Amino acid sequence: MQYLDDYRDSARIRTLTDAIDRATTRAWNIMEICGGQTHTIARYRIEEILPSAIRLLHGPGCPVCVTPVSTIDHAIAIARRPNVIFASFGDMMRVPGSQTDLLRVKAQGADVRLLYSPLDAVELAALHPNREVVFFAVGFETTAPVHLMALSEARRRALTNFSLLTSLFAVPPAIAMILDQPDNRIDGFLAAGHVCAVTGNAPCQRLSAKYHRPIIITGFEPVDILYGIYKCICQLEHHESRVENAYKRAVPEAGNPAAQQLMNDFLEPATREWRGLGAIPSSGFRLREAFAEFDAAQKFPLRETAPHAAIDTRCIAGEIMKGNRQVVDCPCFDTICTPTHPLGASMVSAEGVCAARHNYNQQ
Amino acid sequence: MSCALPFTDADCVLLEHGSGGRLSHRLISELFYPAFKNPLLQQEHDGCVFPVEAGRMAYTTDSFVVQPIFFPGGNIGDLAINGTVNDLACCGAVPMYLTAGFILEEGLPLADLQRIVETMSRSAAKANVHIVAGDTKVVERGKCDRIFINTGGIGTVPPNIDISPLRAAVGDAIICSGNIGVHGIAILSARESLGFETVLQSDTAPLNKMLSALLAQHEVHVLRDPTRGGVGTTLNEIARSAKVEMVLDEAALPIPETVRAASELLGIDPLFIASEGTVLVILPEKAAAEALSVLRQFPEGKNAAIIGRVTASGKASVQLKTGYGSHRIITMLNGDQLPRIC
């Protein structure tokens, strides 16, 4: 805990806010990309201790939030099959599909298990050879290698009753899409440290070079986030746009080659629909054709497609995640839209900005 | 206390144990009666008849479905006694009599049942209460998870004691009598699927003697044990009842290092983890320091700390003052805490 306490230390926090204060001469908009950072910002009320000239915008950094409703519906349909054990991380359990959610179908008799690791799902498959074990593999580049490690283990043990329902996203194409908007107002970015711990700095370098924005690779504790903001402000004030690593204790320059290799072996880029943002080319991954037998979407195709839930036009989650609008602009926030009845992506999981603000009672 | 005929591991609960016939009778006479032995129980009646004093009584009930039923530091039997005893004590009552209802799944080893019942007997003795009535039902395999226990409890409330969540008032101090989150993490670590082990043991304990000592010396406004939902939920409930604002001091919260570390790993907040051997005490601030020393005389109260204050009235809220001066709002949870994905 010593290790964490150092990054929540109030004296260090004050030193950094003072430094940010001194460095800031004009208004800047900074977007953090990771939902973990969004959560910390809301939990520790980082915005309250920053100069008012700095506005934080909250990007599409939560894979649970951006998983489309159609994928949740597919998960629910698979979970309802009589011979299936459907396993998932906890935060997908309450995410509503068009009709219901995984917790409710569990209550109705489906065998839905909450696991802490996809490797536990492999153990389940070994333990229940006559049943099909499906793991809901949701995530960015951060989590994808863990799912693939499970898949690799299932192959090694020749388990044919294990598969993944994937909802895997790549962050850089979504950021590029946001920056391609002609009227976007984002001056700089805090990149997700854990994504970079896998991918390395190169994807950020490409984005920074193309769009001329500072990108600071940032961690998840209050001191990390303030340090990232400080570095970003320093560059902006000096008209610089480089990639800087402010999370060196976790992110090596080249990332994690073993994880990259695993991703390259099993996955190929694919167009993905992001809830709230729509379809973005090459913004996600699918399993390569050679591993189709482990692809739950192919193994258990939807017999009939549920009618698409009408998108509530009052929800501005997409605009919030693109940095164009703020939670405060939304008339639905905390009135008709709550974590129990989310209208859109950013209210779906605790790491979406709307839910984080709801949970910490902040507009 | 000993059982006339100890059960072996091979013996297990059968549907007939709940049928009212010979096996039911044996279960009662060979397992429950020897363990819970007292004259009020052995009236061989449909219920228990006992004398009452004039004044006020407190009456409560609670059901216990913990999984796993045996965990580091205790078992479902400890919880069933301590939970109801503590609920009575938090009403300001002196707990006297408990009832115990058992729902057993067929196939439960009788040795396990015996171990649980013996634990209940020891916990009841420690809390100075008697189990005066009971019931047993057996359901088919798969219809319950090994054993569910309901306990009811009754106690007398001494004169001049008025404990109620409505009494939380501006100027009150909030004391937490013991460590936060220990029981919840001990249970989580015992669940098979978690795969990590901690050295934490559940701190489940009867708190009635400690609270009686406190109430004998100090005016207390609110008592509440932060079991389900933890300290965060419990304080929110009190704040809503009394319509008051509470401010907690993050640095003062008695959260052991192991609880903090396990919470970080699991992505959950210690303020919302169940605590068992801990009670929240709200009382006028001027008495807080002395109340703290009363609590600290008891082993269950050795980590007692003043964790916050009631600061305003009119609007219900619970805030946490962080070390660097910002205030975090502590709200009610939406359902159970579920671990985060990354």
Same domain, B175 and B309: yes
Residues of chain A with CATH 3.40.50.11740: 64-171+255-299
Taking an 8 Å cut-off on Cβ atoms, the answer to whether B341 and A138 are in contact is yes
Q: Kindly tell me the sign of the dihedral angle through the C-alpha atoms of B125, B126, B129, B131.
A: negative
The Cα–Cα gap between B2 and B99 comes to 21
Final residue belonging to a domain, choices B104, B137, B157: B157
B334 contacts in chain A (CB < 8 Å): 94, 339-340
- Looking at the predicted structure, is the pLDDT value of residue B1 above 60? no
- Mutation pick from A45, A47, A358 vs chain B, by most beta carbons of B within 10 Å, is A45
- Residues β-bridged to residue B14: none
- Looking at the predicted structure, is the pLDDT value of residue A93 above 50? yes
A138 contacts in chain B (CB < 8 Å): 341
Structure confidence by residue, pLDDT tens digits, B145-204: 999 999 999 999 999 999 999 999 999 999 999 999 999 988 888 876 666 666 789 999
Distance from CA of B329 to the nearest CA of A (A): 5
- Max Cα separation, chain B? 68
- Looking at the predicted structure, is the pLDDT value of residue B8 above 80? no
Task: Taking residues B271-280, report their average pLDDT.
Answer: 94
Residues of chain A with CATH 3.40.50.11750: 10-61+172-245
- Count residue pairs from A and B with Cβ separation < 8 A: 81
Final residue belonging to a domain, choices B100, B131, B157: B157
Check CB contact of B47 with chain A, cutoff 8 Å.
Answer: no
Structurally, at CATH architecture level, domain A10-61+172-245 sits in: 3-Layer(aba) Sandwich (3.40)
Q: pLDDT: is A137 or B20 the higher one?
A: A137
Taking an 8 Å cut-off on Cβ atoms, the answer to whether A10 and B324 are in contact is yes
B152 to A120, A291, B86, B203, B274: CA distances (angstroms):
40, 57, 12, 22, 21
Q: Domain count for chain B, please give it.
A: 2
Contact B274, B183 (CB under 8 A): yes
Final residue belonging to a domain, choices B134, B157, B180: B157
A168 contacts in chain B (CB < 8 Å): none
Position B171 in a domain: yes
pTM of the entire predicted model: 0.85
Residue B171 φ/ψ region, left for φ over 0, alpha for ψ in the -120 to 50 degree band, beta for the rest: left
CB atoms within 10 A of CB A14: 15
- Looking at the predicted structure, is the pLDDT value of residue A334 above 60? yes
Q: pLDDT: is B41 or A53 the higher one?
A: A53
Q: Return the pLDDT at A147.
A: 97
Among A79-93, A96-110, A312-326, B319-333, which stretch is predicted with the lowest mean pLDDT? B319-333
- Place A94 in a pLDDT band, splitting at 50, 70 and 90: confident
Task: Taking residues B229-241, report their average pLDDT.
Answer: 95
CB atoms within 10 A of CB A255: 19
Interface pTM, i.e. ipTM: 0.76
Q: Return the pLDDT at B9.
A: 58
Residues in chain A whose Cβ is within 8 Å of chain B? 1, 4, 8-10, 13-14, 36, 43-45, 48-49, 63-64, 89-94, 103, 113-117, 120, 138-140, 142-143, 194, 339-340, 349-351, 359-362
N-terminal to C-terminal alpha carbon distance within chain A:
31
Q: For residue B181, what are the domain limits?
A: 165-329
Taking an 8 Å cut-off on Cβ atoms, the answer to whether A350 and B342 are in contact is no
- Mutation pick from A91, A194, A340 vs chain B, by most beta carbons of B within 10 Å, is A91
Position B252 in a domain: yes
Position B93 in a domain: yes
Query: SS3 of A67, please?
Result: coil
The Cα–Cα gap between B265 and B279 comes to 26
b (16+ CB within 10 A) / e for B233-248: bbbbbbbeebebbbbb
> Is the CATH number 3.40.50.11740 carried by domain A64-171+255-299?
yes
Q: What is the mean pLDDT of chain A?
A: 93
Structure confidence by residue, pLDDT tens digits, B48-80: 999 988 899 999 999 999 999 999 999 999 999
CATH number (domain holding residue B28): 3.30.1330.10
Helical residues (DSSP H) of B141-207, grouped into ranges = 182-190
Amino acid of residue B176: C
Task: Taking residues A311-333, report their average pLDDT.
Answer: 90
The Cα–Cα gap between B86 and B84 comes to 5
Taking an 8 Å cut-off on Cβ atoms, the answer to whether A143 and B326 are in contact is no
Position B257 in a domain: yes
- Mutation pick from A12, A41, A116 vs chain B, by most beta carbons of B within 10 Å, is A116
Do you find a cis peptide bond into B68, omega within 30 degrees of 0? yes
Instruction: State which residue of chain B sits closest to A360, comparing Cα positions.
Output: B329
Instruction: State which residue of chain B sits closest to A363, comparing Cα positions.
Output: B329
- Mutation pick from A13, A92, A348, A358 vs chain B, by most beta carbons of B within 10 Å, is A13
A90 contacts in chain B (CB < 8 Å): 338-341
Same domain, B192 and B152: no
Taking an 8 Å cut-off on Cβ atoms, the answer to whether A44 and B325 are in contact is no
A94 contacts in chain B (CB < 8 Å): 334-335, 338
Q: Give the total residue count for chain B.
A: 342
